[in-house]
Structures are given as structure tokens and as C-alpha cells.
Structure 1
Amino acid sequence: MAALVLGITTIVVVVLRTRLDAFVALLIASLVTGFVAGTPAADVLESITTGFGDTLGSIGIVIGLGVAVGKILEVSGAADAIARAFVRLLGRDREPWAMAGTGALVSVPVFCDSGYVIMNPLARSIARRKRAGYVTLALALGCGMTLTHHLVPPTPGPLGVAGILGADLGALVLWGLAFTLVLLPVVVLYARWMGPRLESEISEEVRTAVYGGGAGGTGRVATAVPRTGGGVAKNAGPEPEADAELDEDEHEDEHEHDVPDPAAALGTPPPGAKPHRMPVGLAVLPLLLPLLLIVANTVATAIDQNAQNALGDEDYKPSTTAEILAFIGSPVVALLLGVVLAVYVLLPRWTTRTQVTGWLSEAAASAGLIILITGAGGALGQVLRDSGVGDELAEAISSWNLPGVLVPFLIASMVRVAQGSGTVAMITAASVTAPLLSGLDVSPLLGALACCAGSMVLSYFNDSYFWVVTRFTGLDGTGALRGWSGITSAVWLGSLPLLLIASAFL
């Protein structure tokens, strides 16, 4: 038990108090845990390399492909097209739902930080048109992204958790989406409740950028929102007041130029080339097709497994459909198809090979650290198994009067509060609880959901995404805590009864 406590403490201290990152922290924690548990040095190193290799062997390629799809969605303008389709579909006075739904969909393949920067101009444009409600829209957008970022593969964190715990990826997609749909009303209700209370606390710079410099914040202003970092938009000077009778559609069209072109990275089309347009049906295709194939594989495998149980091993023959879906519905092949579709369907013909390879290289660079952290989490889990720490922890927890599903949930929550990263929190929780699942009577799928849900708690000062959302929203101090820390804690709390309900079925 001392080995486990010191191992987790090592992760927290190294991440918070040194210049080293979570990858190095997890490896150091693996060494500390093994040594304190009394495992010979050679065996500790073997456990680390075995756990690292086994984990990345199943999940490393998938993370890289998922990030590549997200990058192409970003630079092609597909993510922005999806957002605008949500707004048109839901109509007036339902903009918070549109923002939350857009955030949830876009954040499946795109990292929260970059996804929020891409989508924030649309929230500003809607708030400028309505002359109010920017904080509500910004909170709904940001927390909608939080839900799928933590709950739905192929986001890297849930992928890593599935690989460490051995959970079925298609089933995790389905349950993660179900949790997301149930929690979206929590996001919208909290944003609508807290947003108006914080509207007066927006910084003057952001208020001017969103509403303009007129009295009461009712003016309009052309903005240029930064595409990187956590800064805020700069005022480019007020525009003339709109006619009070301006029709809603005309008003929306008038502000199209206020929002930066999401596909600016594509550059200027050559003479004679058609302007780049992004129909929403094409925009969702590279994202939707891989998810559908993975889920179809899961369903077909379950049906085939039932047939095998009914007929017995001797009389059973796998169906052709199940064999085909097992291939094309494997995460590697499904996401590979997604990358090919993204490159050849979303990008215009005049996009050069150099541009595409450059974007894919950027995606690989951003995925690299996540892949390493996931592998290091698998190494820590293997050390916990091989050293016997997992068995000792299972015996200790078995004496507590807690539902087994709360163990990974609370571990993820504590690590998240301590060091800030949701991805590190869920992977650490998965690594610690992987040897305990059988003793806790928790299935790998339920354990994965618990790790992912527990990591959503209390985004605050030690979370980089906290600074992205609050800086773009113009909130500081207690306003930032009440708005952003509050809404992330609300969805964390809302996930708890969902987990207890899911434990009755999984």
C-alpha cells in the first residue's frame, strides 16, 4: 500500500513541482512503486517495457490516426460547417444547445484546446447578433467539448483507458455517447443559470471584442480571433449600428465577415479553381463512418458470440458478415479509412501534397506525447500487477462499504484535482485499477467508464484548458471558478448516478 501511495504521490509531485512532464512522471512512479514493493530492479524494468509495449501495440496506431482525422477536420473548415449546421437545425433561442452539441461532436476527433479556438468565433458572432448571452454560449461550447473529450473514443484519453483495461472499444463508444446525451442537458442548464450572472464580469477587452464599444455593450465590432494559444481577440474598430428592423437572416449574413475563415490554412485557390465549399454531409463523413464501422463490428461480434454459445464450438462457424466487419470495423482499419476520406473528400483538389503532409506531421507531433503517456500508464499498471500491489489494494478496498465502480471513479477524480490533466487522470486511474477489476467485480467496460467520468471533475488553475476557456470568455478570479470549474464539476456529479445505473447492466 505504501508503494501505491508513493507511486501516485510521485506523479503529482513531478508534474506540479518539476520541469518534467507526465510521461516521465509515470515512468518514475513505476520505478518507485516497484522498488518500494520489493521487486528486483531487473523485474521492474521488464514489467515497464512489457506494459509499455503491450499497451501501445493495441492503441498507439489508433491514437495517431484519430488525431490525423481531427487535424484535417480543423484545417478544411469541416468542424466549422458542422457547428453552423447545428445552429441552423436547432433554430433561434436554442443556441446554447447548438453550441453544446457542436462542441460534443467536434471534440471527438479534435483536441479541446484547438477545437475551442476554432468554434469560439461562432459563439461570439451569435452573441453579437443577440446583443447578449456570450458567457452562456462559451460555457456550453467548452463543456460540450469536455464531455466527449473524456467519454468517447477515438479521443486519446478514452482510447488509452480502453487499451489498458481491455474494454471493448465499440461498446465504450456507445456507452460514452449515451452518457454524453444524458449529460448535455446538465451542461445547457448550468450554462443558462450561471451565464447571465457572470455576464457583467467579462473583461472589458473581451466585452468590446464581442459586443463592441457602445454603451451597454450593444455595439458591434469586427474581430480577429487568434487561432493558437489562450489569448483573446482584439478590437478592430466599431461598425455602424444595424437597422433595428434588420431581418434575422440578413443580420446573420451581415456578420459572416466578422468570423475568421476556418479554412484559411488552405490558402488562396489558384486562378480558375472553384471556391472551397463544405457541405455538412461531407463534413461529418470522415468522423461518422469510422464510428459506425467500430460499433457495427461490436454488434456483429456480440451476435456471433451468442450463436457460438448456443451451438457450441464444434458446430459453430463464423458468419461471413462478422468476419468482414471484424476487419473493416477494427479501430485501425476504420480510422485509416477516416483519414483517407478526410484527405480526399474534405480538402479541395488544389491542395498540395506538401500542405497535407505538413498537417499530418503536425497531427503526429501533437499525438506523440499522448501516445507516450498512454504507454507509460500501461507500464505503471504492469508494475502494479507484477509487484502484487494490485492484489493488496483489492484486499484493502474489499473491506470498504463502497460500490466497486466508485474506486476507479474516485482515483481518477483525486488525480485530476491534484495535477489538472484529465487524460493523465483517467490513464493513471486505469493503470491503478486494472489489476483490481476482478476483485472489485467490475467489468473492463464499466471500469473504463468510471475512469473517464471521474476525470471530468473541477477543471481549475492547473488545467491548461481552464485557461483557454476562461481567457476567451473573459472571466477571471471567482467568475472563472463559478463558471468553468462549476460546470465541469456539475457534469462530473451528474455522471455518478449514471455510473451506478450502468453498473446494474455491465
Structure 2
Amino acid sequence: MDVQLLAALVLGVAAVVAIIVWSRLDAFVGLLAGALVTGVVAGVPVTELIDHITTGFGNTLAGIGIVIALGVMIGKVLEESGGADALARMFVRAFGKGREDVAMTATGAVVSVPVFCDSGFVILHPLARTLARRYGKPLVGVCLALAGGLAVTHHLVPPTPGPLAAVGLLGADLGTVILAGVAMAAILVPVVVAYARIMGPRLERELDPDLVPELAAAGGTAGAAAGGRGSGAAGTAGTATIGSAGAGAGVSKEDGESDAGEESGGKPRINPALAALPLLLPLLLIVGNTVTGATAEGSRIAELFAFIGEPAIALLIGLVIAVYLLPRLHTGRKTVVGWLTSAAASAGMIVFITGAGGAFGEVLRQSGVGDALAETVSQWPVPMFLMPFLIATFVRIAQGSGTVAIITAATLSAPLVQSAGVDPTLAVLSACSGSFVFSYVSDSFFWVVTRFTGLSGGAAMKMWTGATTTLWLASLPLLGIAALILG
């Protein structure tokens, strides 16, 4: 590989990592800076470099920017209306007594598709505490099961931001990735349950008495810790737990339902099937588009699904259903608009980071760095489909965010896997799987999970860092099987 192009790549990636880890700036600025450094060192004229950055940014957001925003809005309505709680209670009743950990894992896996992990854990944590207390289950085990379920689909199943961005950056079909991600997540769910059952009883004695008795006090600690070491999302979650504490106190002893026919936090009780509709219908429409496009191309049904199964249209349908069916009857327009505005603010940074990843990728392609790297790496004794996995692993350890790890891995590996003819769906799964590894103090979700549960220090790392690394290891053989199937 040409020394100048190698230096451009190394310095560009180093700039991204250094800015994210050591500066007051975030991943959006880091990725843009990395694109500039790479282009300048590679010898791209400045005017052309700016064109490459803007082109890459715009082309990437043209495909997935709307989808990310709509997905986050659906999640916010589910969160505020009580729909997420309704889904949780449905799973608890479905799996029955003695399988509370399985129920919480399944709940987390479903809720995390539209709802951010941090928010999902805050919403459902009071129910997990109540189940542990009522049925004599280890609190650590039940909380770990919930957090693991949230993490599995958050890392693997669009329209969560990381996998969705990887779909756009690697040119994969969204419906196919959803099916493959759901299949992979379903296999990893038992891994979560097994880890929770093994580690839960062992870590129960490590619970910090200063964190467990009052959930509000735990939230204050979590917010302070996350605000100091993680991202702002954890600080927000820590504040939200004060309301959740009151919610947990009003939960009944039998099935976690409140006494007055309302969900925790005074939200109305919602039919679980109704709560699931804004989530499941868009996914079914997107998958239907993929299936009919492959089996009935040119038919009227295929043309219909080509429209309603377009991700932006499908999620828009889901949002309309959520807005008009989930909030209680007399919820004011101003309230619902406030939810959507808040969701748009949350989605904004993810959208910007994804666009910056596309800008970085365009510079890599146009400068020749990507092609040179692909030619060099193709000679390494490593299966090419594992390159996104390895890149995501290193980036996750370096800066903590799984979403940033997925986007960076998809950006850097795109020219490699495309040159090698790796199936785009397999490349997306590879990048997403690598992002599981070693969640620790630089990850805001680490603080939310461990402080809300009541663990600190080494016990906290055994609980959550160990769980995410176990998922990372378990995903490796699954990627090998996927490579045999997808080719």
C-alpha cells in the first residue's frame, strides 16, 4: 500500500478517535475532521475535498435520515403513552411464573427496536424490580436480562440507528437485514438469559446498599456518574428515574399492573396488541416489500408494497398509528407535538453522525485510500467478512459508543467488502456484531444499567462488561454460519 495513502488512513482514523475520546467535541465533529485529515494527507485538492464531504453527507442522509427521525418518534410515543409498559406486562403474563428473566429479555428485545436503550431501561426497570421482589428472583439477574434484551436488538435490528446507518453505508437491503438481524437476535436471547442466570445470584451479594433502597437516590448517582463519564443521554436517564421510583411503588404484587387501571407513572393501561401495532406493522411492510420484490416482481402487489413498504412510508404509517391510537383520549395536541419535538432533538445527533460517516466514506473512496486498503487487506489471512467486525471491535473499545462503532466500521469497511464481493447483509451483521464488545465506563448505557441495578466497581463490570463481551463472542460462530448461507 502506498505510504502516503496509508498515512492518510492512519492519521484520519487517529483524528476521529482522539477527538471522540479526549476532546470536548463529539463523534460528528470527529468524523468530519477525520475526513478532512484523510483527504489533505492523501493529496486531494481542497475544493474537491469539500465537494466529496458534502456529497457523501447528502447522499447518506437522503437514504436514511427520514427513517431515523420517524423511528425515534415512534419510540417516543410508545415511551410517553405507556405502550412500552404494556408490552412488558404482556410478555410477563405470556411466559409465566418462574420465567421472569425470559420475559424481561423478550420485552427488552422488542422495546429496543424503536426505543433507545437508555430510555427503555429507565421505563421498564421499576417492573423488573417488582418482579424480582415479588417472586424472590435475584435483582441483578432480572435487570441483566432486561438490559441484555435491550442491547441485542439495539445492535442488530433496524430501524435502530446503528444498523440502519450500516444498511445505508454498505448498500444492503433493509428488509433482508431486518430478517437476518431478527434471526440472529433470537439466537442470542438465550445467551442473555443464561448469563443472567449464572451471574445474577453470584453478584446479588455485591449490591450496594446506598444504591438499592431508594430508586430516586440511585437515579441521582447514575445521572452524576454518567454525566461525568458517559454521554448526556445517561444524565437524562438518571433524572428520569425519580419519576420511575414513584412508578415502581404503585405496581401491584401479582403481575406488575397498577391498582387504578393505569400503568406506572400514571399512564393509562393500553392493550398490548395496540401498543405493538406501530412497531410491527412498519417492519412487516418493509419485509413484505423485500419478499414481493423477489417473488412477484412486476405484479400489482409488488408495486403496492414497493410504495407502502418503502422504509420512510412504512414508518410514517407507524407514526400516524402511534400518535392517534396510543395516547389517552384527551391528550392535547400540544403534548403530543412536544413528544415529537423532543424525539426529533434526540434523533438529530444520530442523523448528523450518520451523515458524517457517509462523508468520511466518500473521501476514502474518492481519494483512493479505500481501494488501496482493500487491495492490501485482501492479502491478509483473515476472512473478508470479518473486517467490519474487527473494525467495530477496536472502535467500540476506543470510544465506547456502539452506534459510532457500527457507523465507523461500515464506513471504513465499505470499499473492502465491496471489492471482495462480500454480501452487504453479511457485512452489516458483521459490523453490528463487533459493536457488542466490552461496554464499560465510556458507554452511557453502562452507567444506566449498573447504577439503576445497584452495582459499582468490579461487580458492575462483571455484570455488564462481561455480558456484552459474551454476546460479542457468541456472535462470531453465528457470523460464520451467516457467511455460509449468504456467501
State the TM-score, normalized to the length of structure 2: 0.90
Q: Given residue 205 of structure 1, which amino acid in structure 2 is its aligned partner? A: D
Partner of 1:437: 417
Give how far 1:399 is off. 1.2
Q: Given residue 199 of structure 1, which amino acid in structure 2 is its aligned partner? A: E
Is residue 448 of structure 1 aligned with residue 448 of structure 2? no
Q: Within 2, Cα distance between the matches of 1:368 and 1:196? A: 40
Q: Within 2, Cα distance between the matches of 1:47 and 1:260? A: 53
Superposed counterparts of 1:280-359, under 5 Å: 280-304=272-296, 318-359=298-339
1:50 to 39, 49, 55: 55
Quickly say closer, same or farther: Cα 1:157–1:72, change in 2 above 3 A: same
1:39 to 44, 67, 86: 44
Q: Within 2, Cα distance between the matches of 1:14 and 1:391? A: 26
Quickly say closer, same or farther: Cα 1:43–1:284, change in 2 above 3 A: same
- Residue 484 of structure 2 aligns to a residue in which SS? coil
Give how far 1:10 is off. 1.0
Q: Within 2, Cα distance between the matches of 1:402 and 1:27? A: 29
Q: Within 2, Cα distance between the matches of 1:443 and 1:38? A: 32
1:77 to 67, 78, 82: 82
Is residue 361 of structure 1 aligned with residue 341 of structure 2? yes
- Residue 503 of structure 1 aligns to a residue in which SS? helix
Shifted more, 391-400 versus 358-367: the winner is 391-400
Cα deviation, 1:58-82, whole Å, max 9, x if unaligned, reads 1000000000100000011010000
Q: Within 2, Cα distance between the matches of 1:341 and 1:414? A: 40
Indicate the percent of aligned positions where both proteins have the same amino acid.
56
1:65 to 67, 70, 74: 70
- Residue 230 of structure 1 aligns to a residue in which SS? helix
Partner of 2:254: 252
Quickly say closer, same or farther: Cα 1:424–1:487, change in 2 above 3 A: same
Partner of 1:230: 238
Q: Within 1, Cα distance between the matches of 2:439 and 2:236? A: 20
Superposed counterparts of 1:163-182, under 5 Å: 163-182=168-187
Q: Within 1, Cα distance between the matches of 2:375 and 2:367? A: 15
Partner of 2:210: 205
Is residue 393 of structure 1 aligned with residue 398 of structure 2? no
Q: Within 2, Cα distance between the matches of 1:139 and 1:250? A: 22
Q: Within 2, Cα distance between the matches of 1:304 and 1:381? A: 35
Q: Within 2, Cα distance between the matches of 1:36 and 1:262? A: 56
Quickly say closer, same or farther: Cα 1:257–1:158, change in 2 above 3 A: same
Quickly say closer, same or farther: Cα 1:392–1:93, change in 2 above 3 A: same
Q: Given residue 163 of structure 1, which amino acid in structure 2 is its aligned partner? A: G
Partner of 2:134: 129
Cα deviation, 1:312-343, whole Å, max 9, x if unaligned, reads xxxxxx11010000000000110000000001
Superposed counterparts of 1:457-496, under 5 Å: 457-496=437-476
Superposed counterparts of 1:148-167, under 5 Å: 148-167=153-172
Larger Rg: 1
Give how far 1:258 is off. 12
Q: What value does the CA root-mean-square deviation take over the aligned residues?
A: 2.1
- Confirm or deny: 8 A CA contact 1:76 1:262 kept in the other structure: no
Q: Aligned pairs, how many?
A: 458
Quickly say closer, same or farther: Cα 1:115–1:399, change in 2 above 3 A: same
> Structure 1: which 5+ residue stretches go unaligned?
211-225, 240-248, 267-275, 306-317
Q: Within 2, Cα distance between the matches of 1:196 and 1:227? A: 29
Cα deviation, 1:179-235, whole Å, max 9, x if unaligned, reads 10000010000111011110011110333248xxxxxxxxxxxxxxx9943367699
- Residue 206 of structure 1 aligns to a residue in which SS? coil
- Residue 505 of structure 1 aligns to a residue in which SS? helix
Shifted more, 429-438 versus 483-492: the winner is 429-438
Q: Given residue 74 of structure 1, which amino acid in structure 2 is its aligned partner? A: E
1:143 to 148, 163, 166: 148
Cα deviation, 1:28-63, whole Å, max 9, x if unaligned, reads 000011111111111111110000000000100000
Quickly say closer, same or farther: Cα 1:230–1:263, change in 2 above 3 A: closer
Q: Given residue 169 of structure 2, which amino acid in structure 1 is its aligned partner? A: I
Give how far 1:396 is off. 1.3
Q: Given residue 279 of structure 2, which amino acid in structure 1 is its aligned partner? A: L
Partner of 2:32: 27
